[in-house]
Each structure stands twice: as C-alpha cells, then as structure tokens.
C-alpha cells in the first residue's frame, strides 16, 4: 500500500516546477456557455466526453498538469470504458480536486455584490469527496469594481471570512484548500484600481485565515493578476502586469504559503502564459508561482474538439500545447518562438 501524502506534500505537488492545475470545475450552467460557443448540446455524455478527452491527453497530464479541479458531477463520472474519471487523472500522476463552493448569491444591502455560499454541511461533503479521491478543494469568492464604493468592505470581509472557514474545514478534513479570491477583470477600471483593491482583498483574506487558525503551509492561493479591466482603454504591458502582481503578492502573502496558482480571468491564452512567465523571470520568489487556469487552458482545445469525436486528437494536441506553454512559464522559460512552434 502506498503511504498517504501529507497535506504539505500535496500542496508542494500542486505547484511542482513545470506543472500547474487544470480548472475543469465548470458548473453545469457555465459549461453550457462554453458548449454553446461550439454549438454542442450540454448533455451529461458530452460533458463526460469533453473532460475525458482532456484527462486522456497523456503528454499534458503527465508532464504539465499537477492536479484537476472537478465539479461534483465529474468526480462521480466514469469514462466511456467504465473507468472512473478520477482514476484516469491519478493514472497520469495528477491529483483530483473538487470545487466545494455552491456559487454566489446577492449580498444584502450592497451595490450588486455577492457572497459565496456552501459552508452548511461542508465538513460532511469534504469527508465524502476525500473518499471519492479528492486531494484538494477549491472555493471561489468574487469581487468586482463597478463604480465608487465597490467592492465594499462588507463584501471583502464577508467573503474573506467564508474563505477562511472553508479553508479550516478542508485542513481539518484532510484535504488542501485552494483559496480563490477573484477580483473580476470585466470592467473598465485601470490597473491602479486593480492593484489597490487586490491588495485590500488579500490583506483581509490573510487576516481571516489567521483568525480561523488555518495553517498556511497546507494551503494554496489562487488570485487574480494585477491587470486593467478588459474595457479599460489603457492596458499595461505584460512586464508591468508581472511587476505589479509580484509587488502586491510580496506585500500580502506570507512566505509560509507554498504556492500561488493564478486564475486566468478572461485573459487571452497567450497573455495568461506570458504574464506567468514574466513573473517567474523576476525570481527568486518566496513561493512557487503557477497556474490554475480554466479558460486559458481549455479555449483552444474546446474549439479544436468542436463537440466531434473525430476531433479528439486535435483537441488533445491543442490542450497539450497550452499546458506545455504554461509549464515552461512556471520556470520563467517561455518565449514567443516556442509559442508559435506548435
């Protein structure tokens, strides 16, 4: 029998050099949007086929994907040949993880802000997910800059408190928590606003993790990068995004945290990779900097697949290329030449 990994070992494996996390935990509503873009029906079988294609991408999974965040349906699903999808992931040397939050709900008395729910019964759900093979979990808090006074301290505090309670329950239940505070980049705010608000959010998250007695050594942070909103007329260079993001992280994230795995948040595939590369090129840094991308890892594969079984190999090639580019970015060794060599 193989010896169980400690949570520190799981966390270290999640951000191992050259590797990062595939966020494949789209809820049924979110994956519908992705499937709509390729005119594919959102059925249980299609969701299974798509994810099976990704998890059977041998090169990507073996060499560049340290872990996969799954949705509740997927952690229980079997591949076409009857093998549980979690076993496919494990067989490639990658770790299965699970999204445990139950999504966002309106935060009362706020200007359209949200609070992430899912704490009720979480201890029992963690126990069940650990039994199904999950080695880590994810909880995403969402913040937005929509005008003066947003995000409010009420939203920043309530979401940080929930993240801390979730993280404590995960560690107690024997799985590594990915703590994901996401400041959206959908608006028109500039990079200064993103920098200021990201710093405020992260300060509050680490304050609440401290009050909740969460051992940071057993956690991974999944933040947004410091970047201008998509609708801002003034976009920063890739180097500036990298410098500003690292500056904020150094101010806020204790060195006890083993790794930081970014979300992509709607950046182009190549920007998400390049930003990660430039950050790592600024090293040495006190934590591993890696990726936990959803869209920026999957978009090309989804398009190449197009919902057709005859395109599985093309989808896998596209996924393997993106995984490899992000893998080299974790080492600060990415460049345009490799990018175009696909």
43 binds ligand 5MM (CB under 6 A): no
67 binds ligand 5MM (CB under 6 A): no
Minimum CB distance to ligand 5MM smaller for 103 or for 286? 103
66 binds ligand 5MM (CB under 6 A): no
Which DSSP letter does residue 3 get? P
328 binds ligand 5MM (CB under 6 A): no
Minimum CB distance to ligand 5MM smaller for 23 or for 75? 23
Least distance to ligand 5MM from the beta carbon of 69, Å? 6
Minimum CB distance to ligand 5MM smaller for 6 or for 303? 303
* Catalytic site includes residue 182: no
Local structure of 69: helix, strand or coil: strand
Residue 42 and residue 71 in contact, taking contact as beta carbons nearer than 8 Å: no
User: Angle formed by the axes of helices 153-173 and 122-131, to 10°?
Assistant: 50
Which residue in 12, 26, 70, 202 binds ligand 5MM (CB under 6 A)? 26
Q: Please give the residues from 77 up to 136 whose contact with ligand 5MM meets the rule CB under 6 A.
A: 103
Q: How far apart are CA 311 and CA 304, in angstroms?
A: 7
Which residue in 209, 221, 296, 325 binds ligand 5MM (CB under 6 A)? 296
Least distance to ligand 5MM from the beta carbon of 192, Å? 22
How does DSSP assign 150-196, residue by residue?
A: -S-HHHHHHHHHHHHHHHHHHHHHTSEEEEEEEE---SS--HHHHHH
The helix or strand, by DSSP H or E, that contains position 299, with its residue range, turns out to be helix 295-305
* Residue 60 CB burial class (10 angstroms; 0-12, 13-18, ≥19): buried
Local structure of 282: helix, strand or coil: coil
Neighbours of 268 (CB within 10 A): 12
Minimum CB distance to ligand 5MM smaller for 18 or for 103? 103
249 binds ligand 5MM (CB under 6 A): no
**Site track for ligand 5MM across 256-275, x = CB under 6 A:** -------xxx----------
Give the pair of three-digit tokens for residue 1: 């029998």
Which residue in 55, 287, 293, 305 binds ligand 5MM (CB under 6 A)? 293
- Of 278, 296, 269, 265, which is closest to residue 237 (Cα–Cα)? 278
Pick the stretch among 22-30, 165-173, 192-200, 303-311 that binds ligand 5MM (CB under 6 A).
Answer: 22-30
Catalytic residue among 26, 180, 195, 204: 180
Minimum CB distance to ligand 5MM smaller for 47 or for 341? 47
144 binds ligand 5MM (CB under 6 A): no
6 binds ligand 5MM (CB under 6 A): no
* Catalytic site includes residue 203: no
- Reported in sequence order, the residue ranges of the chain that DSSP labels E, i.e. its strands, are 20-23, 65-70, 95-99, 104-106, 114-116, 136-143, 176-183, 220-221, 259-262, 288-293
**Residue ranges binding ligand 5MM (CB under 6 A):** 23, 25-27, 30, 69, 103, 140, 182, 263-265, 293-296
Active site residues: 180, 222
């Amino acid at each position: 029998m193989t010896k169980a990994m400690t949570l520190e070992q799981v966390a270290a494996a999640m951000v191992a050099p050259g590797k990062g996390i595939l966020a494949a935990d789209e809820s049924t509503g979110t994956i519908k949007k992705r499937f709509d873009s390729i005119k594919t029906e959102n059925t249980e079988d299609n969701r299974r086929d798509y994810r099976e294609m990704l998890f059977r991408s041998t090169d990507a999974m073996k060499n560049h994907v340290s872990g996969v965040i799954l949705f509740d349906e997927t952690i229980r699903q079997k591949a076409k040949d009857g093998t549980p999808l979690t076993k496919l992931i494990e067989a490639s040397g990658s770790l299965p993880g699970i999204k445990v939050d139950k999504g966002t709900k309106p935060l009362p008395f706020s200007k359209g802000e949200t609070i992430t729910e899912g704490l009720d019964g979480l201890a029992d759900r963690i126990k069940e997910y650990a039994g199904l093979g999950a080695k880590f979990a994810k909880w995403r808090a969402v913040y937005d800059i929509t005008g003066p006074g947003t995000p409010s301290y009420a939203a920043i505090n309530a979401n940080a408190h929930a993240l801390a309670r979730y993280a404590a329950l995960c560690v107690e239940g024997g799985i590594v928590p990915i703590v994901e505070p996401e400041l959206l980049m959908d608006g028109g705010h500039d990079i200064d606003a993103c920098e200021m608000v990201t710093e405020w959010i992260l300060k509050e998250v680490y304050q609440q993790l401290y009050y909740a007695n969460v051992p940071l050594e057993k956690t991974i942070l999944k933040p947004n990068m410091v970047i201008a909103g998509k609708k801002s007329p003034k976009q920063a260079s890739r180097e500036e995004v990298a410098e500003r993001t690292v500056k904020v992280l150094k101010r806020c994230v204790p060195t006890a945290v083993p790794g930081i795995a970014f979300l992509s948040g709607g950046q182009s595939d190549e920007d998400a990779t390049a930003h990660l590369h430039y950050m790592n090129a600024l090293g040495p840094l006190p934590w591993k900097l890696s990726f936990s991308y959803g869209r920026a890892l999957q978009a090309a594969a989804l398009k190449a697949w197009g919902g057709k079984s005859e395109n599985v190999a093309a989808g896998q090639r596209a996924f393997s290329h993106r995984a490899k580019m992000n893998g080299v970015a974790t080492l600060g060794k990415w460049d345009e030449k490799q990018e175009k060599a696909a």
